[in-house]
Structure 1
Amino acid sequence: MKMFMLKSLCLAAIMLIAVLTGMQLASSGIQKMKGYEDPNLETAVSFHEKDNNVKASILGNDISSHNIAAKKKKLEEISAFNFFSSMGKKLSNGITSASEKLIQFIAD
């Protein structure tokens, strides 16, 4: 099962890289076909380096750890209650404890 999951994750990562590469190639092909640089046409993936800080942008949206940290903080502030999530956690904890007790009962 572990090997299947590992192979699946590797395949998904390869496919993601292939899609982004294809988007980049299509973007450069469009620029070559136009014959001039269009400032409105953005590249699919770009990396910028300033003062040993690398910034990435995908489809024109900047990606940085600050964005992720701000989103995480915002989600923590909201702290929305999800009934189904809490019931799922209780159910999983109950099944886990029951299976542990069953395994200990069988082992003894």
Structure 2
Amino acid sequence: MVKFFLKCIVLCSVLLFGVLIGMQQANQGMIKMKGYNDPDFQGAFQIDSNETGDVEASILGNEVTSQDLQKKQEQLEQIEAFNIFSQLGKQFANIVSSGVSSLLKIVTELMDG
């Protein structure tokens, strides 16, 4: 199960990276087709460094900073602090697991007896 999730995550990452590269290639093709560099056209992702040496990144025109990532991490931690659906899912999984294991015990006892 862990291998399956790992494969899915790797596959999704590769596909996302491929989509971003494709968007960048389409942008370069539009610039070549137009014949001149239009500053309104922006790439799918851009990485720039400013005069202080900090690196700025933008994906699809939205700037990504470490503060944004920290805020998102805090939001995820708050969401995971209490999620009623997650708790209900865990309880349901426990009930189903115990039901299936007891059913298997009964079936094996009947087959042995």
Structure 1-normalised TM-score? 0.65
Q: Which piece of structure 1 moves more, 35-44 or 25-34?
A: 35-44
Q: Which piece of structure 1 moves more, 66-75 or 40-49?
A: 66-75
Q: What is the distance in 2 between the residues matched to 1:15 and 1:42?
A: 21
**Structure 1 segments unaligned to the other structure (5+ residues):** 100-108
SS at match of 1:47: strand
How far does residue 40 in structure 1 lie from its aligned partner after superposition? 1.1
SS at match of 2:48: strand
6 and 58 in structure 1: CA distance in 2 versus 1, 3 angstrom threshold: same
24 and 71 in structure 1: CA distance in 2 versus 1, 3 angstrom threshold: same
How far does residue 17 in structure 1 lie from its aligned partner after superposition? 0.5
How far does residue 69 in structure 1 lie from its aligned partner after superposition? 3.4
Q: What is the distance in 1 between the residues matched to 2:11 and 2:37?
A: 35
Cross-structure match for 1:6: 6
Cross-structure match for 1:30: 30
The one-letter code matched in structure 1 to 2:34 is K
How far does residue 12 in structure 1 lie from its aligned partner after superposition? 0.7
- Aligned length, in residue pairs: 96
Structure 2-normalised TM-score? 0.62
Cross-structure match for 1:18: 18
86 and 64 in structure 1: CA distance in 2 versus 1, 3 angstrom threshold: same
Percent of aligned pairs with the same amino acid: 44
User: How is 1:83-102 mapped onto 2 (pairs within 5 angstroms)?
Assistant: 84=85, 91=91, 95=94
- CA RMSD in angstroms comes to 3.4
